[in-house]
């Protein structure tokens, strides 16, 4: 049990207890997830997030065969409004936002003055001067407020009462049609709409952290979280909907980053092959622009690669930063690894020296259970063009 002053204690099952206080928050869906079988939680953006509803392999199959509903309220929003909101938002990212329309979403990077990645969120543009930054796990609210102090720009930065759910999987479109009608199927990939569900205020987007067809429902009234969860589950049960959690298996198959594992403040976009998200020659200024130009000119000394690891199936997702070697010399580290039951392979994302990043390079990895052979292979490992996520 976590000892927290002024806390309420919730027991999950017969043995596990969680303490709640002002330091770690509960999502609006917490009680619903417990009722529906959540067995383990971790902390993300200072909030508990469900990490297990039983077997993670079954969760993976549920995701790719039918659909899962995930509590991702821990993906907190940073809201930027005001007359200079668009200018300020461009200052925060090296991606060119000049063509971003109202109602559009974009995957962006946020970098510091050295070009290090602070977050890799989804940006939503709700109006000309109204943005949400839907965060990975880092304190961007404080960063943005700090940047604003001496910017000379007229902006308001706050955390709104917004809590997303992810409905992901091939049946998610039919479930959304049951909830919102046929018109929802016209929503394009990485676009959003403002909707209501029986009076519950929502922003709905065709996005998600799964590489599958999916939607995110951004609840704008935390008091109605339990009600929203139950409505979606009731609509989805005829289509095989299950409560679930973000699948490490599927996201590694899709080559999707997990911040703090595959990227951090000491990682730059060029090392990850994300050059398309960096426009150092655009007229607009952004934090890290000079560093990006310098890195582009000088090149990088390491690169992210995909790996296939030989041996028995790995147990669970691993982010232990296993060392990688070539002929006895350490040349990098594994950042995320998992066994894919669909591919019947151990697959991993890794950061290695440029000299050892070519496809087919054979490496040695020191796993938790001992040394194993590995080979550099193409990533993503499955559906590289994201046809499953983009097609409706």
Range list for CATH 2.40.30.110 in the chain: 301-379
Beta pairing class for 67-71 and 241-244? parallel
pLDDT tens, position by position, 323-338? 999 999 999 999 999 9
pLDDT tens, position by position, 114-173? 999 999 999 999 999 999 999 999 999 999 999 999 999 999 999 999 999 999 999 999
Do 207 and 244 meet the contact criterion of CB atoms below 8 Å apart? no
The pLDDT value given to residue 9: 42
Residue of 264, 295, 218 lying closest to 110 (CA atoms):
264
Q: 60 pLDDT band (50/70/90 cuts)?
A: very high
pLDDT tens, position by position, 227-249? 999 999 999 999 999 999 999 99
| Average of per-residue pLDDT across 49-71 | 97
> pTM of the predicted model, to two decimals?
0.94
Mean pLDDT of the residues in the chain: 94
Q: 6 pLDDT band (50/70/90 cuts)?
A: very low
* In 262-330, alpha helices (H): 289-298
pLDDT tens, position by position, 331-365? 999 999 999 999 999 999 999 999 999 999 999 99
| Average of per-residue pLDDT across 46-54 | 95
What is the rounded CA–CA span in Å between residue 51 and residue 41?
5
Range list for CATH 3.30.70.1400 in the chain: 77-158
CATH T-level fold of 301-379:
Elongation Factor Tu (Ef-tu); domain 3 (2.40.30)
| Average of per-residue pLDDT across 34-60 | 95
The pLDDT value given to residue 318: 72
Beta pairing class for 241-244 and 192-197? unpaired
The pLDDT value given to residue 5: 29
The pLDDT value given to residue 251: 96
Q: Is the pLDDT of residue 288 over 70?
A: yes
For 77-158, CATH gives 3.30.70.1400
Which residues on adjacent β-strands are paired with residue 227? none
Q: 1 pLDDT band (50/70/90 cuts)?
A: very low
Residue of 141, 108, 110 lying closest to 122 (CA atoms):
108
The pLDDT value given to residue 371: 96
Dihedral angle computed from the Cα positions of residues 56, 59, 63 and 66, in that order, rounded to the nearest 10 degrees = 160
For 8-75+161-251, CATH gives 3.30.1360.120
Range list for CATH 3.30.1360.120 in the chain: 8-75+161-251
């Amino acid at each position: 049990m976590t000892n927290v002053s002024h806390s309420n204690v919730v027991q999950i099952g017969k043995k596990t207890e969680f303490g709640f206080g002002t330091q770690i928050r509960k999502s609006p869906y917490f009680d619903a997830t417990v009722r529906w079988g959540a067995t383990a939680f971790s902390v993300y953006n200072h909030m508990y997030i469900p990490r297990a509803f039983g077997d993670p392999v079954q969760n993976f199959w549920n995701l790719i065969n039918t659909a899962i509903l995930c509590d991702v309220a821990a993906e907190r929003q940073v809201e930027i409004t005001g007359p200079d909101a668009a200018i300020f938002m461009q200052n925060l990212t090296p991606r060119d936002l000049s063509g971003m329309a109202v109602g559009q979403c974009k995957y962006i990077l946020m970098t510091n003055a050295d070009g290090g990645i602070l977050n890799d969120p989804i940006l939503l543009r709700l109006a000309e001067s109204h943005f949400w930054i839907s965060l990975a796990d880092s304190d961007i609210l404080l960063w943005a407020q700090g940047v604003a102090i001496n910017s000379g720009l007229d902006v308001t930065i706050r955390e709104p009462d917004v809590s997303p759910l992810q409905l992901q999987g091939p049946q998610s479109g039919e479930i959304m049609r049951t909830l919102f009608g046929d018109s929802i199927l016209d929503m394009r990939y990485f676009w959003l709409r403002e909707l209501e569900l029986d009076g519950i205020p929502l922003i709905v987007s065709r996005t998600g952290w799964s590489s599958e067809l999916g939607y995110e429902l951004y609840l704008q009234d935390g008091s109605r979280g339990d009600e929203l969860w139950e409505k979606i589950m009731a609509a989805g049960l005829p289509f095989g909907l299950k409560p679930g959690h973000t699948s490490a298996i599927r996201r590694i198959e899709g080559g999707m980053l997990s911040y703090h594992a595959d990227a951090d403040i000491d990682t730059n976009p060029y090392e990850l092959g994300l050059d398309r998200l960096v426009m150092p020659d655009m007229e607009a200024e952004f934090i890290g622009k000079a560093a990006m130009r310098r890195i582009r000119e000088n090149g990088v000394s390491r690169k992210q690669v995909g790996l296939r690891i030989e041996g028995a199936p790995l147990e669970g997702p691993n982010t232990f930063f296993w060392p990688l070697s070539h002929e006895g010399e350490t040349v990098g580290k594994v950042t995320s690894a998992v066994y894919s039951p669909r591919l019947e392979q151990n697959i991993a994302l890794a950061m290695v020296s440029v000299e050892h990043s070519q496809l087919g390079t054979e490496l040695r990895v020191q796993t938790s259970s001992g040394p194993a052979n590995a080979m550099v292979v193409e990533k993503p490992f499955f559906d590289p063009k994201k046809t499953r996520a983009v097609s409706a």
